[in-house]
Amino acid sequence: MQVMEAAKGIMRQSGNMHQWGDGYPSEDVIAADMEKHGSFVIEDEGKVVGYFAFLPSPDPTYYNIYNGEWLDDTQTYHVVHRIASTPQVHGIFSSIIDFCTAHETNLRVDTHRDNKIMQHNLLKHGFTYCGIIYLANGDERLAYQRLV
């Protein structure tokens, strides 16, 4: 949870004031990732410095996409959610994507419109912007996909 708080600090400093508000992600959300065997941490010298969820399809929030389309909507995929790291470490996003692409050739990710850091990293790592999806609570997210 300390990594999540650190990630929120990075978001706020970069102008992303609204993503991950109201106690999200909670311990219950992380526990649900763990129950699905999709919870992963990144360690540096025995200290947790990053977190991500890597979950198999289907993801109900990805059933409908607006103002665009998925690169491929027929194959199974994995979703990468809740990417977080501490500000002292660098290269976490690259490590996460390397791990994920070693296990899956079809990846989907979504992010908040204000999360410019994530948008930059996604494009830098070969993801294509596909359109807009809506979370269960109605919040808009920008959707990306990468086919390896």
**Residue bearing tokens 């410019």:** 116
State residue 119's pLDDT score.
97
What dihedral do alpha carbons 64, 107, 111, 57 form, nearest 10°?
A: 50
Cβ atoms 56, 33 nearer than 8 A: no
pTM surpassing 0.85? Answer: yes
State residue 21's pLDDT score.
85
**Residue bearing tokens 């992963």:** 40
Contacting residues for 42 by C-beta, under 8 A, at least 6 apart: 48, 49, 50, 51, 52, 85, 89, 92, 95, 96
- From first to last of its 148 residues, what are the pLDDT tens digits of the chain? 999 999 998 999 999 898 888 789 999 999 999 999 999 999 999 999 999 999 999 999 999 999 999 999 999 999 999 999 999 999 999 999 999 999 999 999 999 999 999 999 999 999 999 999 999 999 999 999 999 8
